[in-house]
């Protein structure tokens, strides 16, 4: 999508600090980190939110969960200590960027419940 900031990041039209990339996925550091390690993992394909995933996206969703997120957690050194995955969705979920993204937050102990 031409006006989507994360599509522009995926296409390298906007700079970001990339920590992982493959044909389908890119992961980059959040501009306003909420933890010592705060990475956003996105499909390169524009999907508006987790509710925008279609049947044809099953392999992509599985790839992110099974392959990419564990790999990045290992790379960041938070696989043993633990981390939090957040997928803000829609208005009440406070989703501000309408391109599916997984926040991977780690490097400190997290609070629960969230505010």
Catalytic residues: 101
d(CA 12, CA 8): 6
What's the N-to-C CA distance of the chain in angstroms? 31
Burial class (CB in 10 A: 0-12, 13-18, 19+), 73: buried
Work out whether 18 is an interface residue with ligand AMP (CB under 6 A). Answer: no
Retrieve residue 36's tokens: 């010592």
Work out whether 16 is an interface residue with ligand AMP (CB under 6 A). Answer: yes
Shortest Cβ contact with ligand AMP: which residue?
88
Work out whether 88 is an interface residue with ligand AMP (CB under 6 A). Answer: yes
The region of 30-38, 46-54, 57-65, 73-81 touching ligand AMP under the rule CB under 6 A is 30-38
**Residues at the site binding ligand AMP, with contacts judged by CB under 6 A:** 5, 14, 16, 28, 30-32, 40, 88, 94-97
């Amino acid at each position: 999508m031409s006006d989507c900031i994360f599509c522009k990041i995926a296409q390298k039209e906007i700079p970001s600090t990339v920590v992982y990339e493959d044909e389908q996925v890119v992961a980059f550091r959040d501009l306003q980190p909420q933890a010592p390690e705060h990475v956003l993992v996105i499909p390169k394909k524009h999907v508006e939110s987790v509710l925008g995933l279609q049947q044809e996206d099953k392999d992509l969703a599985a790839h992110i969960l099974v392959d990419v997120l564990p790999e990045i957690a290992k790379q960041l050194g938070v696989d043993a200590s633990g981390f939090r995955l957040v997928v803000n969705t829609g208005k009440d979920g406070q989703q501000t960027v309408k391109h599916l993204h997984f926040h991977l937050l780690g490097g400190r102990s997290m609070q629960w419940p969230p505010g």
